[in-house]
A and B are shown apart, each in its own frame.
Chain A
């Protein structure tokens, strides 16, 4: 019996396998969505609770349940408080997470991830939510259009057009940033040149 069938039937062992195979993907996807490793743990827990709640929606012909889980992750991350309310009793039982200090090297790397991700997320914030979703699924989680469409429950053509728009907008953001940088450098050079000229003139005058 396929994992999809077992998950849909509510087989606990299937959920154990589902968790073992996909927790890492969900956790990293949650981090990219939020830029916060601690929150990513909470979202991971909520995502699998939601998966259990929504198991009857699993489509039986899927090769992988990863897209379905990543779609749930997006919804949970978008409204953590609503998901937490829905699973209030369970969340009260959630073991304390993120309170264990990581090894120093790992911690430094994770802080660095957070900083780098914040820069990209600032650019992504200029996309619509729908465009951000397809960016996360297709560019960062490596789903193809069909899988992203299944995750978001939209037609494949919609994924394609949203991604094209996202790419166009991001290209524009990069161009604007490059243009601003060029202008800034140009101003610095001009100011620098003026200063040298002024210094030279002053020296010439003294002579």
Chain B
């Protein structure tokens, strides 16, 4: 350690900074910056809002956690999953076609930039930086229309194959993806939510691996 003689006017902090230089500053990687910020906003939202009745009555709250080891993320893609505190159990039932659901949900699509798609089952929102935030709302008696869901994601540049393994019951709140990144697989099961680049998981099924 080199002792640097103090310069006139320097305070102890400046002298220490010269003698013991800080490690170089690193950026919080852009994807993690976005994930952490949206996580904070979601938590603020949860804490700010009074206890409101869910849009469709829940039967019970689910505790769910992301099995981190099961999540394989593509470089250039990111994922964030947040439990919807109003998540409900799923009992199967009629398929809700988002495009035709008008009683409990609305559907809208605007121009390619800033497109927002809102259905009873999910919403898709574009964010600055080419990210897309997908929120799933799954409730009793509803089932995701996979084809429509995939098509709607494709409209905003997210090419995803969805494996619905009875897992649209989680109340998964949101998943963030980078538009234009390589195709991904989203696998929804009652216990987990998994995301992988399709190239890494071409053989994924509901049971494998």
Contacts and interface: CB of A to CB of B under 8 A. Distances in A.
A37 B44 CA distance: 25
A170 interface: yes
B19 A138 contact: no
Contacts of A31: 23, 26
Interface in A141-165: 141-145, 148, 160, 163-164
A92 B66 CA distance: 9
Contact of A19 (B16, B26, B40, B46): B40
B36 interface: yes
A170 B40 contact: no
Interface string B11-44: 1111111011011111111011101110111111
Interface in B127-165: none
Interface string A41-54: 10011001100100
A125 to B, nearest CB: 13
A167 B33 contact: no
A196 interface: no
Interface in B67-88: 68, 71, 73, 75, 78-83
Nearest to A97: B32
A113 B12 contact: no
A103 B26 CA distance: 14
A75 interface: no
B94 interface: no
Given A16-B41, A19-B36, A95 B23 contact: no
A101 B77 CA distance: 12
Given A19-B37, A93-B39, A100-B75, A138 B13 contact: yes
A45 B48 contact: no
B197 to A, nearest CB: 12
A39 B63 CA distance: 24
Contacts of B28: 23-24, 27, 41, 44
A177 interface: yes
A45 B37 CA distance: 8
A23 B33 contact: yes
Nearest to A25: B25
Nearest to A12: B44
Contacts of A94: 39
B26 A139 contact: no
Contact of A24 (B27, B45, B63): B27
A110 interface: yes
B75 A113 contact: no
B25 to A, nearest CB: 5
Nearest to B13: A138
Nearest to B74: A100
B82 to A, nearest CB: 5
B1 interface: yes
Instruction: State the 3 A-B residue pairs at the shortest beta-carbon distance, nearest first.
Output: A138-B13, A96-B68, A139-B16
Interface of A: 10, 12, 15-16, 19-20, 23-24, 27-28, 31-32, 37, 41, 44-45, 48-49, 52, 90, 92-97, 99-103, 106, 109-110, 113, 116-117, 120, 123, 134-135, 138-145, 148, 160, 163-164, 166-167, 170-171, 174, 177-178
